[in-house]
Structure 1
Amino acid sequence: MNYTVRNSRPSDNGQLGDIYLNERRQTFTWVDPGKFSHEDFLAHSQGEIVWIAEAPDGEIAGFMTLWAADDFIHMLYIRKEWQGRGVGTALLKALPEWPRRKYRLKCLINNRNAKTFYAGRGFVVTGSGTSAEGDYEELSFIPA
């Protein structure tokens, strides 16, 4: 399926907050859902580049944020009904110089679907740590 990937606009923030809240509550089942709020998206994406993937009908299927100074992919969230349909791959392709540039991210160890997604796109484990949501692995995409 073809998606339109574009930079976000202020008018998108409500929908992005919805996606961020809903997908974290559905995915991070080991975390108290009360720890997540709608306002988290704006707080957590400050200073980041935000891309949106729109379906042909204009629906926002998912989004990705990048902390450009460190080539760090901070967030990549896809609505449940759009997962497994190429949205995440379309968003990665929006990254500057993808796939000729190194990028990194953190992925919670318990988030098996995300780990499988990233491994399938060439990301490898380059570190580990602990966050408020649990243990994570640092994953890096290292160009060939």
Structure 2
Amino acid sequence: MTWTIRPPRAEDQEMLAEIYLSVRRETFVWVDPGKFHREDFAAHTNGETVFVCEHENGGVAGFLSLWPADDFIHMLYISPDFQGFGAGTALLQALPEWPQHRYRLKCLVKNRRAKAFYLAHGFRVTGNGTSPEGDYEELSFSPA
């Protein structure tokens, strides 16, 4: 598939919120799904730089949100229909100065698929902690 990475448009907000909500509910099965709400997307990306991944037919496949001040990847979510086809990789590659720049993120320990994705893209475990959704590991990407 061919991916286009672009800034979000006003008309994307509903789809981005739906992807965020549905993927969280499907992935974080150990968390009460009632704790996730459509409004979370706007609140959780406030002040962040959002990158939208659009598939070749023009629909939104997913997004990445970045807190630029800390080079922190806050979220990377791909609609289940597009997982495994390179959308996540395209989003990482669209980050400023990728792969010559250092980035970090937190990944829930129970989210094994996401952790495998990040490790396959050069991230390494550099710390750990606990959040309301469970234990997490901090992963860092450092240029070779």
Q: For this structure pair, what is the TM-score category when the shorter chain's length is used for normalisation?
A: over 0.9
CA distance in 2, matches of 1:125, 1:5: 27
C-alpha deviation, 1:59, in angstroms: 1.1
Secondary structure at the residue paired with 1:84?
coil
In 2, distance between residues paired with 1:129 and 1:138?
8
**1:85 aligns to 2:85 (yes or no):** yes
CA shift, 1:11, in A, is: 1.7
Q: Which residue of 1 aligns with 2:106?
A: 106
CA shift at 1:99, angstroms?
Answer: 0.1
Q: Which ranges in structure 2 are unaligned for 5 or more consecutive residues? A: none
Distance between the aligned counterparts of 2:130 and 2:7, measured in 1?
31
> In structure 1, what is the Cα distance between the partners aligned to 2:2 and 2:18?
23
Correspondence for 1:140? 140
User: What percentage of aligned pairs have identical amino acids?
Assistant: 62
Q: Which residue of 2 aligns with 1:52?
A: 52
CA distance in 1, matches of 2:42, 2:65: 11
Determine the structure 1 residue equivalent to 2:124: 124
Q: Distance in 1 between matches of 2:38 and 2:138?
A: 26
Over the aligned positions, Cα root-mean-square deviation in angstroms equals: 0.5
Give the structure 2 partner of residue 41 of structure 1. 41
Q: 1:81, CA displacement in angstroms?
A: 1.1
Q: 1-side partners of 2:11 and 2:50: how far apart?
A: 13
Q: Which runs of 5+ in 1 are unaligned?
A: none
Residue pairs, 1:13-52, within 5 angstroms: 13-52=13-52
The ranges of structure 1 where at least 4 consecutive aligned residues each deviate by more than 4 angstroms after the TM superposition are none
User: What is the identity, as a one-letter code, of the residue corresponding to 1:24?
Assistant: R
| 1:10 Cα deviation after fit | 1.9
Instruction: Measure, in 2, the Cα distance between the counterparts of 1:46 and 1:122.
Output: 28
Taking the aligned partners of 2:132 and 2:44, their CA distance within structure 1 comes to 14
